[in-house]
């Protein structure tokens, strides 16, 4: 058993050290808002925060998480920045099929927590690697600008 700090509380998990964090979250803790897309760090569907940084949980082993704080989409709305992002997402009707959107929101929140006035180039750099098959990229960028106001 390992204890991780997940969504504000110490959480015991049985997954071994090599298990990707994604599967510990989804299979063991039923935190299924974090999605599986590619399993190779290429699509961003599995994005969570590790000490405030957006990381791909499908390629982050449990052993790399030990002393760090994990936040998933289920708890991200506790922060002011996250509330602004979620409101902008709703107002601009960003979501289409929705599958990638928890990862998109996690990356957007991590960006705005570090950069309150991102340029288009900042947004493109931060969101690069969060793929959306419905191509909602234009609305995502607009929503990030709106959340930054």
Nearer to ligand FES, 46 or 140 (CB): 46
DSSP reduced 3-state for 71: strand
CB of 23 to ligand FES, least distance (A): 11
Residues from 21 through 80 that contact ligand FES (CB under 6 A) = 36-39, 41-46, 56, 58
CA 91-47-6 angle, 5° bins: 105
CB of 39 to ligand FES, least distance (A): 5
CA 144 to chain centre: 14
- The arrangement of strands across the sheet holding 9-13 comes to 9-13, 2-6, 69-71, 47-50, 53-56
CB of 27 to ligand FES, least distance (A): 14
Identify each DSSP E strand in 28-133 by its residue range: 47-50, 53-56, 69-71
Nearer to ligand FES, 58 or 75 (CB): 58
Residues from 99 through 118 that contact ligand FES (CB under 6 A) = none
Residues in contact with ligand FES, total (CB under 6 A)? 12
Which strand (E) or helix (H) includes residue 2?
strand 2-6
Q: What does the binding site for ligand FES look like in residue numbers (CB under 6 A)?
A: 36-39, 41-46, 56, 58
């Amino acid at each position: 058993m390992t204890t991780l700090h997940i969504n504000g509380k110490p959480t015991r998990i049985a997954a071994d050290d090599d298990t990707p964090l994604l599967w510990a979250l989804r299979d063991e803790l039923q935190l299924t808002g974090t999605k599986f897309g590619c399993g190779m760090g290429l699509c961003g569907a599995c994005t969570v925060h590790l000490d405030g940084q957006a990381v791909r949980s499908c390629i982050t082993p449990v052993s790399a998480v030990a002393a760090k704080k994990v936040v998933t989409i289920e708890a991200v709305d506790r922060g002011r920045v996250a509330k602004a992002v979620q409101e902008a997402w709703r107002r601009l009707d960003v979501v289409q099929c929705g599958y990638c959107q928890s990862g998109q929101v996690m990356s957007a929140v991590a960006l705005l927590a570090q950069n309150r006035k991102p340029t288009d180039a900042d947004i493109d750099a931060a969101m690069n690697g969060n793929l959306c098959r419905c191509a909602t990229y234009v609305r995502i960028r607009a929503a990030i600008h709106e959340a930054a106001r």
